[in-house]
Amino acid sequence: MTRLLIIGPPGSGKGTQAVHIARHFRIPTVSTGEIFRTNVSQETPLGLEAAKYLDDGAFVPDQLTNALVKDRLLDADLQPGFLLDGYPRTAPQVMELDNMLASRGHRLDAVVELRAPDSELEQRMLQRAKEQGRKDDTIEVFRRRLDLYHRETHEVVAVYSGRGMVVSVDGSGDPGAITTRAIAAVEKFLGVTP
């Protein structure tokens, strides 16, 4: 059983890396961003509420996010493990996740932190906007998200660093090379022999 969290600033390739890392460890990916986008496109009540925040580049409030993640973590396909992408984003969400996992006798095994320079992140975001036509990918929204990440999400990294759970990975350059570095770093951290 492997339970991982991947974290990093917007544009760091969390979604891409999450898929490859999860496939390697044979665990499902739980992406709050994808769940939010699906709900927004389907105009569900949660999606309509979440859209107000997402369109402005703000984080969806904790109570909405916590409820969504809690329900997902109860699904049978996550019993062998999972890789969380996009949650927790704040220190209070860390505590909520601790409680969710502890209630089932579980805990996180490691936190993968992707790091890359802000200038590279901005270029990636512009490329993604061009390729995918995502209207939430504008310079203004990206900069607000990056500012929120630096102000709020760094607390998450600090909490997990204090627990000795953070595996930092250079998120610059070729995506394939990043995947190789990330998998090797996690396996070394977990004491897995390749």
Is 58 annotated to bind a ligand? Reply is yes
User: E strands of the chain, at which residues?
Assistant: 2-7, 29-31, 81-85, 110-115, 166-170
User: pLDDT at position 165, please?
Assistant: 97
What is the count of structural domains for the chain? Answer: 1
CATH number at residue 158: 3.40.50.300
Is 2 annotated to bind a ligand? Reply is no
User: pLDDT at position 134, please?
Assistant: 67
Show pLDDT as tens, one digit a residue, over the chain (194 residues).
Answer: 899 999 999 889 888 999 999 999 999 999 887 778 877 888 988 788 888 888 887 878 888 888 778 877 888 998 889 999 989 988 899 999 999 999 999 999 999 999 999 889 988 888 877 787 766 668 888 888 888 888 888 899 999 999 999 999 999 989 999 999 999 999 999 998 76
User: pLDDT at position 150, please?
Assistant: 86
User: pLDDT at position 142, please?
Assistant: 85
Is 88 annotated to bind a ligand? Reply is yes
SS3 29: strand
Name the packing angle between helices 62-73 and 45-54 (round to 10°): 130
Is 89 annotated to bind a ligand? Reply is yes
Is 15 annotated to bind a ligand? Reply is yes
User: pLDDT at position 194, please?
Assistant: 60
Domain span at 115: 2-190
